[in-house]
Amino acid sequence: MKLAQLNIALAKYPLDAPEIKDFVDNLDSINGIAENSEGFIWRLKDESGDATNIKLFEDPNMIINMSVWESTDALKNFMFRTHHKDFMRRKGEWFHRLAEDTYVLWWIEDGHIPTPQEALSRLQHLRENGDTPYAFTFKTNFTAADLE
């Protein structure tokens, strides 16, 4: 089993605005760190190399990020022990704080690549039911064994 994740964020500005330029200018670098991180398997991207142009919501400022990892620890290592953490500290400059959950984790079979629609259904399940083995957050961190 592998760990899939979806993260959504509502940008305070259009992605071509000067106020969010530092975030946009560093996407390639941060995505490169992810791809070269131990335990990284896959990430959602389009022809431009990232997922900022993939729209799953009516609001054009809602962006998504999806990836698959070997384990929760591999994802946490990327998030909190690389240059990525510096951008997480600054997310309040660029993104609105949303009342609902903005990320979801779930276990997938080896070799499966999740679709954005699958990810959205997991996020909706989390929002409606809280953390379960089907859709969870780092707070509970269910393991693949919890699915059995």
Predicted confidence (pLDDT) per residue in 3-12, tens digit: 999 999 999 9
Q: Which pLDDT tens digit goes with each residue over 81-136? A: 999 999 899 999 999 999 999 999 999 999 999 999 999 999 999 999 999 999 99
Domains of the chain are 2-147 (3.30.70.100)
pLDDT at 148: 66
Is 142 a residue whose pLDDT tops 90?
no
| 3-class SS string, the chain | CEEEEEEEEEECCCCCCHHHHHHHHCHHHHHHHHHCCCCEEEECCCCCCCCCCCCCCCCCCEEEEEEEECCHHHHHHHHHHCCHHHHHHCHHHHECCCCCCCEEEEEECCCCCCCHHHHHHHHHHHHHHCCECCEECCCCCCCHHHHC
Whole-model pTM: value is 0.93
pLDDT at 107: 97
Q: Considering only CA atoms, which of 1, 131, 118 is closest in space to residue 69?
A: 1
Is 55 a residue whose pLDDT tops 80?
yes
Burial of 100 (0-12, 13-18, 19+ CB in 10 A): exposed
Confidence at 49, pLDDT banded by 50, 70, 90: confident
